[in-house]
């Protein structure tokens, strides 16, 4: 029984060991051959292609974070539409209406955020 268990997961174990070996090998090689000398240009702060003109600890408006979070939420939700659209032929009518419900709820969230003025 245990030999059957080992036989089934043997390829997974070899893949895991090989990938860990390659990852550690690449990290060690890149550390050994990379230039460790840092100049003033390399160690200076860099902000959008120009020198920073204010302190980095200034507060941002909360709308910046709100837009970023909304972008991530809507972006991740749209990613769920790709597998749904690919497998739509196999899902049947229930799968279709569940996807339409998902899109409708996404539209309601978008309209709510729009009416609250988060995109202004």
Which candidate, 78, 83, 88, places its Cα nearest to that of 110?
78
CATH number of residue 91's parent domain: 1.20.58
25 compared with 42, residue with greater pLDDT? 25
First vs last Cα of the chain: how many Å apart?
Answer: 64
- pLDDT at 117 (0 to 100): 81
Q: Which SS3 state, helix, strand or coil, does residue 50 take?
A: strand
Q: How many structural domains does the chain have?
A: 1
The boundaries of the domain holding residue 64 are: 2-116
At 74-102, the pLDDT tens digits run: 888 888 888 888 888 888 899 999 999 98
The residue written with tokens 């390829």 in the block is 11
How many Cα atoms within 13 Å fall on the side-chain side of residue 89? 1
The residue-averaged pLDDT of 56-65 equals 72
């Amino acid at each position: 029984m245990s030999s059957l268990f080992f036989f089934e997961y043997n390829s997974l174990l070899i893949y895991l060991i090989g990938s860990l070996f390659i990852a550690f090998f690449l990290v060690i090689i890149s550390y050994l051959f990379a230039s460790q000398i840092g100049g003033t240009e390399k160690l200076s702060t860099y902000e959008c292609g120009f020198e920073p003109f204010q302190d980095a600890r200034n507060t941002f408006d909360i709308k910046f974070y709100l837009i970023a979070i909304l972008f991530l939420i809507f972006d991740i939700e749209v990613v769920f539409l790709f597998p749904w659209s690919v497998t739509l032929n196999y899902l049947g009518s229930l799968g279709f209406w569940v996807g339409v419900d998902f899109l409708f709820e996404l539209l309601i969230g978008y309209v709510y955020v729009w009416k609250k003025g988060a995109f202004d």
